[in-house]
Amino acid sequence: MRMIDLYIQEVTRRLPEKSREDIALELRSTIEDMLPDNYTEKEVKSVLEKMGNPAILASGYLDRPMHLIGPRYFDIYINLLKMILPIAAVISLISLIANTIISYSGEEAVLNVLLDVIGIGIWGILSTGIQVFFWLTVVFAIIERTDHRKSQTPLTACFKEWTPEDLNNIPYIPKEKAIPKVDVFLGLLWTAIWASVYFNSASLLGVYEKGSNGLEFVMPTFNQDVLYSYWPLVIMVIGLEIAVASYKLLKGQWTRKIAALNTIMHGVSSIVFIIIISNNQLFNPSFVTYMTDLFSITGDFGSWIFWGAIFTFLLFAAIDIYQGFRKANLKNIK
């Protein structure tokens, strides 16, 4: 029954990954033993009430006590921490990468810039994590100490005590259809990287040669003025990617609507990509001559790049579209 599945999901999601499957089987067996053969929804609710709040039941399976904030607010505190920390870390990293790319003048060796980004990025993520942890802990400590009620029953996300009816407001998300938050954040990170590189390609993408100070930038791959001329289309693609990623984060699982939006996003980005790469003045002539001589390429080098880039771009887009619809069409097998 759906309510039983949701109850088990609410318990096991608070437990370590390695033990979830075994505990889920144990819980299902316990609940079914407490129910008659032809049970009704009312009887299920009665059994679940006896089982108690999922947060309390989950704490019994953990090896560590829930004493950091207190049992009443601990579950809300941890859920918010898990949600805010990755978002803050990704925003911090995106800001650093975008700022580094935009401010890069081409004078410093690329390897040194990359090492600086890695070092500063790690420190920035740690610093952001510490601040989020500190201020969220302070806020919940204040809330707990200003709450004069003596009850220590854990509260739900709506700051009320749990009842079986709360399960009706929770979507059942099968593991096969779930959209991991890390995938969404990595997608946003990739959007920030390619967008920053696009608008600064004249100083980032091109031919590098070994010099006295390491790798030195010799010539750009693209004509930056041509790239700038397509900025409205590029901004539209960036907006679409952010919107789809945000919707994925909100829903948390693949649906046909998300798969359709994902297809539209890839369709628009593919059209924009083909329009840009079809411009005959996109590549720097010096770069084309250099690459043709370097690899002794016979025929039109621009044609090789054109068809190779289009094939690769459309291939990855098609794979992502297929995976989206495949996961969206999976049945919720209980």
CA distance 274 to 306: 9
CA distance 207 to 211: 12
CA distance 90 to 19: 29
Among 332, 230, 327, 239, which residue's Cα sits nearest to residue 274?
Answer: 230
Question: Are 254 and 177 within 8 A, CB to CB?
Answer: yes
pLDDT tens column, 92-124: 777 776 676 666 655 665 556 666 767 777 787
The structure's pTM equals 0.62
- Take residue 307 and report the two structure tokens written for it: 């068809």
Among 242, 243, 312, which residue's Cα sits nearest to residue 277?
Answer: 312
pLDDT in tens, the chain (334 residues): 678 888 888 888 888 888 888 888 888 888 888 888 788 888 888 888 888 888 878 877 775 555 556 666 777 787 788 778 877 877 777 777 667 666 665 566 555 666 676 777 778 778 888 888 888 888 877 777 676 665 556 656 565 666 676 666 666 777 778 888 888 888 888 888 888 778 877 777 777 777 666 666 677 778 888 888 888 899 999 899 989 988 888 888 888 899 999 999 999 999 999 898 888 888 877 777 777 766 665 556 567 777 888 889 899 999 999 998 988 887 654 4
pLDDT tens column, 187-222: 888 888 888 778 877 777 777 777 666 666 677 778
Q: What is the 3-state secondary structure (H, E, C) of 15-33?
A: CCHHHHHHHHHHHHHHHHH
Average pLDDT, the chain: 78
The type of residue at 18 is: K
Q: Which residues contact 280 (CB under 8 A, 6 or more apart)?
A: 302
Please name the helix (run of DSSP H) or strand (run of DSSP E) that holds residue 5, with its range, or none.
helix 2-12
Give one word for 35, left, alpha or beta, with left for phi > 0 and alpha for psi -120 to 50: beta
Q: Which residues contact 269 (CB under 8 A, 6 or more apart)?
A: 237, 240, 241, 317
CA distance 140 to 157: 13
